[in-house]
Chains A and B, each alone.
Chain A
């Protein structure tokens, strides 16, 4: 029998946050109350910290199969655990792409073998992500896939998207869109605006995202399918989402930590660590994104953790691939730049993402009988990172101070991450 007692933290219980101890026995929460007795359990001092459901990331690139030199499932999920995550949804734009059941099962099994977090594979919407024919949606569903996306590319063919929506609406799956119009974005490396004009660089206009979202929402209205927008980056998209929700459409939206933290002024350094798609937008867009996350117009934080090897990113800006990693800093960034109380924080980081993905054992408030997938988070802890747990180092967060650190992560009662400084 293994037992852990987490003492003195602000625990997100069924009725709300309260200071209490949490006793975990054999992977399940046994009791939640103040001043519990240890009875031989390992004691974890969580005073000053929040104790809540482990974070759930709806958007992670684990790069396995095919891209293991950047990251693999083991190293990526280790980074996730370091960042307080207990579950991640792995994006299917691997090599080969996850457009069939056996590939989805492979990813899930590798995740289980590594043992850091629960890995739920996402599946492609179109075969091979080519955007011409549907992927084996049934097979993927049988293999446990619930989110479907061609992430990396948007589904441009409205007819194909409509068929996918109609099909998945019956199953209850979620259509997830990487909303960037290929024609409007062609040749662009950063946000089209004042900074790109100063640098003389081709940019991607905000419209490239908004035009796809606007079209897709019309299809959602037609089909009633569940629809989730990845990495919202513009104020215009936020407005479209708010309007759709007001109309009662089954729409959810995510925002990345880097879009919350940075803007296109950071790109002026031409350091490729600030290059991703969609690009960093204006400071005003960033302000709207933060407010939207606080208010709930944007439902969740999702990292779009996108590892690239140093030799790929250490090149001139225009030649670098898009993407930055973020699993290790997501919670810290949200804590540093947004004003969220414990309830809202865990809603955005854990509860809602788990609900969207249908992960029953994750994102649950702490109560007796529930699986112990927890995180202990210090909202005031200041820290600076100089290295990464991820195999790749393309993180714009390095070398900067952030306020909010993960004290411990627990997957089914087992501590998966205990950074230096954990108090026992």
Chain B
């Protein structure tokens, strides 16, 4: 049984296999009837403890496009308000007969706990500031489709991640995925928003965006997270924008083929100007579209072929050992 909990330590081949399948699902989603029966009869449960519209809807759409049924639990309306523990919630909904759980939780490591309690595959929809693996996969797919066509990785691509990296699970997942696929990653942030200790991280850090801008193929803009103390670690939004914001002026200084990305939701006028968000080089809408395809690939891989060992070849005639002769 496989889970998708983190991109840390994921082999390049595994990432590419998700992207390759996702390419096919992009085509499926473009059909007049964007639905295939592959996961018919399966039920996907989404357990979202943090507010989310886009990710939850994306998983929902992905499951339905594969003909799976979906069930959703959110803390506001559920038994969790009555004091039920997370463990009991997981065991209860599993007893109702579910085939996969997607969980988002503000506590780091919660999906690992869920995977320990549940006997079905678990997908991490985002835990604390730690990991958001499907976001990293869809970001990787978007870059690959833009720069590499339908094959391979992101070799040699120079990607800059800008913003509140310290509190960003998207950044942590992206760093592992992008570097595993061969890209060069630069982190751009004020000291208060860089992770405290990046020893051993496969990245370069920079203190100003303008210095690295001309060399980047992709600028990945992170949200300023007000709910994680964003403004309190920086003097003002205006000052943030002037030093780190993706402004129209900075867009002009990018290489002509370079692109801008954002995990959403965007705060126009702070980390990204409206003009940039609406520019054709901003791939946000591609990211969203690719997100459904990537999540289809994830659900398909985790739920298709769950029984059986992939290393065992099929159609092998039964081997029986016969030992005879003198003993």
Contacts and interface: CB of A to CB of B under 8 A. Distances in A.
A316 B166 CA distance: 21
B204 to A, nearest CB: 16
Contact of A315 (B86, B106, B197): B86
Given A192-B196, A201-B130, A317 B109 contact: yes
Nearest to B106: A318
Nearest to A317: B109
Interface string A176-202: 000000000000010011101111110
B109 A316 contact: yes
B105 A316 contact: yes
A269 B172 CA distance: 16
B107 A200 contact: no
B125 to A, nearest CB: 14
Contacts of A318: 106-109, 128
A319 interface: yes
Given A194-B199, A194-B200, A270 B169 contact: no
A322 to B, nearest CB: 15
Contact of B85 (A201, A270, A271, A311): A311
A282 to B, nearest CB: 11
Interface string B164-193: 001111001000000000000000000000
Interface in B74-122: 85-87, 105-110, 112-113
A193 B199 CA distance: 9
A317 B106 CA distance: 11
A194 B195 CA distance: 9
Given A316-B110, A316-B113, A317-B109, A197 B169 contact: no
A203 interface: yes
B198 interface: yes
Interface in B126-177: 128-130, 166-169, 172
A131 B222 CA distance: 43
A280 B113 CA distance: 20
A317 B108 contact: yes
B198 A269 contact: no
A314 interface: yes
Contact of A316 (B86, B172, B195, B197): B86
Contacts of A192: 196
Interface residues of A, number: 21
Interface in A306-337: 311, 314-319
Contact of B195 (A189, A197, A311, A314): A197
Contacts of A316: 86, 105, 107-110, 113
A189 B128 CA distance: 13
A192 B200 CA distance: 16
A201 B169 CA distance: 10
Nearest to A196: B196
A399 to B, nearest CB: 14
Nearest to A311: B85
Contact of B197 (A194, A201, A311): A194
A318 B172 CA distance: 19
Contacts of B106: 318
Nearest to A270: B109
B110 A200 contact: no
A201 B128 contact: yes
Contact of A199 (B85, B105, B108): B108
Contacts of A199: 108-109, 128-130
A53 B128 CA distance: 48
A339 B102 CA distance: 48
A203 B107 contact: no
Contacts of B200: 194
Contact of B87 (A193, A269, A314): A314
Given A200-B167, A200-B169, A314 B197 contact: no
Nearest to A190: B108
Contacts of B198: 197
B112 A269 contact: yes
B112 A315 contact: no
Given A314-B113, A316-B86, A316-B113, A197 B107 contact: no
Interface in B220-276: none
14 contacts: A189-B108, A192-B196, A194-B197, A194-B199, A197-B195, A198-B8, A198-B172, A200-B166, A201-B129, A201-B130, A203-B196, A270-B112, A315-B85, A317-B110
Interface of A: 189, 192-194, 196-201, 203, 269-271, 311, 314-319
Given A199-B128, A270-B108, 8 more contacts: A194-B200, A199-B108, A199-B129, A200-B167, A201-B108, A203-B196, A269-B112, A318-B106
What are the nearest 8 A-B pairs in CB distance? A270-B109, A200-B129, A316-B107, A316-B110, A197-B195, A318-B107, A197-B197, A317-B109
